[in-house]
Structure 1
Amino acid sequence: MSLLPVLAVLLSAQVATSDLYARRVSNRWLVCVAVLATGALLWSWMTGAAFPGMHLLGLLVGLLSLLPFYAIGWMGAGDVKYFAVLGLLLGASALLPIWIVASLLAGLHATVVVLAPGLRASLPLRAQLLQARVREHWQTGPAAQRLQALRQGRTGIPYAAYLAAATLGYLLWQGRGAAP
């Protein structure tokens, strides 16, 4: 497997973990991976490979395509930056399938969030009481307290985690190993 897909897998694992746990995407990881990818692409180009235009286009398309969602407050800046770095790593052609799958997963998540209160209300009274006790026990426990402290009030759908899952699925589906 070449370096860029390996970097995409490593970055995706880190981003998914961080986004699910703390609703954050680390700028340090993004910058480090982008610098490594840029160096690898430049080295490849200098040693006779084709100009990495699709990777640079992927960076630009990844940034510009999600920037409006950040501007209107529907998405965090980390999600946008992560998508741009994915474009740099995998090229512009990888972004559409990754975006579609991630958006479908996020839409499913949102649907469950919207429908959950109605589904709870349709449960038998005993099940509702049990669910309320379990939820209260969880929310007052130390794990939930640490999670809330790490999130610092950030809520929402972990879109970067869904982008990461879609990226891993894309790489598995493509069998990316030969192309940089």
Structure 2
Amino acid sequence: MSPLHLIALLLALHVALSDLHARRVSNRALLAALSAGAIAMCTPWSGMPASTAALSALLGLAVLLPFYRLGWMGAGDVKFFATLGFLLGWPSLLPIWIVASLLAGAHAVAVLATRRNEAWAPARAFQRRGWLPAQAVRAGTRMASRDRTGAPYATFLAIGAVVLLLAPEVFRHG
């Protein structure tokens, strides 16, 4: 695994937990990953020129920025996707986006199926069926930020990145 891939993996794990917990993507974590990635690009084994990384980040930004402008996505989601572009290169963006969109769709179906428009509705459905302890659901809803709603899209992007990094054969065809 290249240094850039390791940085992306660590960032994805951090962002997934942060987004699930509080619906926030830390600017500090993104800047740290970008800085570490820029330093790693100075090494001969980085595998990607800085110009490609910069263009990939701009592509990631350009792809998701309209969704932010429409109010469908948070700024942290957009910045995280751009950072993934910087670290992994533009060919990685489409598979990550596809996985994230499929997960977001599944999340939306689960929320609609429970007839509640909140992130913890699937957990409550599991709790009602006896599959999840009530204490876990209450703790989870207390931990999450009350003023943020919607799908944890950065978490879904992070899952896509982790799958791409740890099981790239999933995306191979032909």
Same fold by TM-score, threshold 0.5 exceeded?
A: yes
Q: In the alignment, residue 33 of structure 1 is paired with which amino acid? A: A
Tell me the TM-score normalised to structure 2 length. Answer: 0.79
Q: Secondary structure at the match of 1:24?
A: coil
CA distance in 2, matches of 1:140, 1:9: 28
CA distance in 1, matches of 2:19, 2:94: 21
Q: Which structure has the larger Rg over C-alpha atoms?
A: 1
Establish whether residue 11 from structure 1 lines up as the match of residue 7 from structure 2. no
Q: For 2:89, which of 85, 88, 91 is the aligned residue? A: 91
Q: Secondary structure at the match of 1:44?
A: coil
Q: Which has the higher helix share?
A: 1
Residue by residue, what CA displacement relative to the aligned partner does 1:23-49 show, whole Å, maximum 9, x if unpaired? 1100100011111111222x137x9x7
Gaps of 5+ in 1: 119-127, 176-180
- Equivalent residue for 1:171? 165
CA distance in 2, matches of 1:50, 1:78: 24
CA distance in 2, matches of 1:113, 1:25: 22
Report percent identity of matched pairs.
Answer: 47
Structural RMSD (CA) = 2.9
CA distance in 1, matches of 2:150, 2:15: 15
Q: Cα distance, 1:53 vs. partner?
A: 3.0
Q: Cα distance, 1:117 vs. partner?
A: 2.8
Q: Cα distance, 1:138 vs. partner?
A: 5.5
Establish whether residue 131 from structure 1 lines up as the match of residue 125 from structure 2. no
The number of residue pairs the alignment matches comes to 157
Q: For 2:77, which of 61, 70, 79 is the aligned residue? A: 79
Q: Cα distance, 1:139 vs. partner?
A: 9.9
Q: 1:145 to 1:20 in 2, by over 3 A?
A: closer
Contact 2:38–2:50 (CA under 8 A) maintained in structure 1? no
Q: In the alignment, residue 78 of structure 2 is paired with which amino acid? A: V
